[in-house]
Chains A and B, each alone.
Chain A
Amino acid sequence: QVQLQESGPGLVKPSETLSLSCTVSGGSISGYCWSWIRQPPGKGLEWIGYMYYSGGSNYNPSLKSRVTISVDMSRNQFSLRLTSVTAADTAVYYCARYPNVYSSVVDPWGHGTLVTVSS
């Protein structure tokens, strides 16, 4: 059974870059799309984007200028990079498998990691 685990700093300073990794275990990263979704404290879910294991990506238009998702097949990991962060980027960040492009199915999800943007 595929499991995902996020890792990375829990605190990032304003204007700096948020970097998170997601390790996939119990299955290969090959053959699927992989996604990041975030949830500000006490608020709803926001889709950040996805990347196909072999390249090709799609990002939320509202974040597109600041976001990069990349895949490292040798480590069975994928990563999120969000530049020029502000307090509005404070959220729990979830990594997840995105099995079918152009669908809304995201499964399974990681446990999530809280990233706080503060000086």
Chain B
Amino acid sequence: SYELTQPPSVSVSPGQTASIPCSGDKLGDKYAFWYQQKPGQSPVLVIYQDSKRPSGIPERFSGSNSGNTATLTISGTQAMDEADYYCQAWDRSTGVFGGGTKLTVL
């Protein structure tokens, strides 16, 4: 079965750029999606179809996808961005999530 791999944790200083990778076999041939989940809350879509931002998502959130890796980038990271981030893709009509990355802003 298809797998997506994320680092368990990423740390960033306030105001700096955070990059969260997601790897999978030929992931660049698929669309990648990113979801943010804060403690006790439901997930929120922050990037869809590799690099598109839903309305209401700040411009500091961006995405890319090429080769075997999709990347979520948060520019000018703020304390409010501290959360778990999950990548997701579709493989043979079934959904696949990465294991999630805890972003710590310190």
A pairs with B: no
**B contacts, CB < 8 Å to A:** none
